[in-house]
Amino acid sequence: MENKCVHLSIENHVGIITLNRPEVGNAIDLQTARELMEVAIFCSESEKIRAVVITGAGNKFSVGGDLKSFANEGDEIGSHLKIVTAYFHQAISHFARMNKPLIGAVNGVAAGGGMSLACACDLVYASEDSKFVTAYNNIGLTPDGAGSYFFPRLVGMKRALELLYTNRPLDAKEAKEWGIINHVVPKDKLMSVVLDLAQTLVNGPMNAFGVTKKLLYHSLQETLESQMSIESVFIAERASSSEGKEGISAFLEKREADYLK
């Protein structure tokens, strides 16, 4: 896609999204939010893409909202932010709802909306020099990008409030200990490790991945019995699908499943 602020390339069924404003730390302004939404929809719908990786150009993932561009709106800043977040939140929603796995490759600082975006990824790998900071309350603002949804679910309510109230940054090691990221990787190996993982997921049962994601998200609002009822419906559907049939046949025949055929 020919976007200026959010670049998308496709390699071996992997959609690679790069936030492309390195001169401002990949800050999210109106155009970036709009392009991110467009790219999220494209990745969700494209049959050429089976897994998605998101990272930042330069030495930062994203410092969050572009405060300078927001302040330039003067008295219209409130209505402007409603438009920015409308696009940004649609992007998050499409990423969260798509069947394709979404892997965050956090290369440096992930702050504010950048941290929220990282937390919205299914899996997160981060370079050793990465930093995570909520940033919102420190400047008198509140979370966006589903930060208030993901933070307490990932780290618990007390820790989420601590991060937001104190603005304390977490290094990669502590972010892993808190459950915000999956793995810490040397900076020069980050993308190769993430792309290897993405390629493995490309060869997997993409639709089963998507249903699994939905099951886990819905489990937080269901009772034990209602969740098991939903599980029954989904596992029956998956067993009857082409993926399920191939997976079961491959297991019984003691061979690797071919989900790309």
pLDDT in tens, 135-177: 999 999 999 999 999 999 999 999 999 999 999 999 999 999 9
- On whether both 153 and 213 belong to a single domain, the answer is no
- On whether both 135 and 248 belong to a single domain, the answer is no
Q: Which residues are known to be catalytic? A: 89, 144
pTM (2 d.p.): 0.95
- On whether both 211 and 196 belong to a single domain, the answer is no
What's the full length of the chain, in residues?
Answer: 261
Beta-carbon contacts of residue 125 (< 8 Å; ≥ 6 apart):
103, 104, 105, 106, 181, 182, 183, 184, 185, 190, 193, 194, 197
- On whether both 118 and 225 belong to a single domain, the answer is no
pLDDT in tens, 83-135: 999 999 999 999 999 999 999 999 999 999 999 999 999 999 999 999 999 99
How many folded domains does the chain comprise?
Answer: 2
Beta-carbon contacts of residue 90 (< 8 Å; ≥ 6 apart):
37, 40, 41
d(C-alpha 248, C-alpha 239), whole Å: 8
- Residue closest to 100 by CA, chosen among 146, 54, 148: 54
CATH number at residue 24: 3.90.226.10
- On whether both 54 and 165 belong to a single domain, the answer is yes
Q: 1: which DSSP letter?
A: -
- Domain assignment present for residue 197? The answer is yes
Q: Which is it for strands 109-111 and 123-127: parallel, antiparallel or unpaired? A: unpaired
- On whether both 30 and 60 belong to a single domain, the answer is yes
For residue 85, the enclosing domain spans: 6-202
- On whether both 157 and 211 belong to a single domain, the answer is no
- On whether both 91 and 193 belong to a single domain, the answer is yes
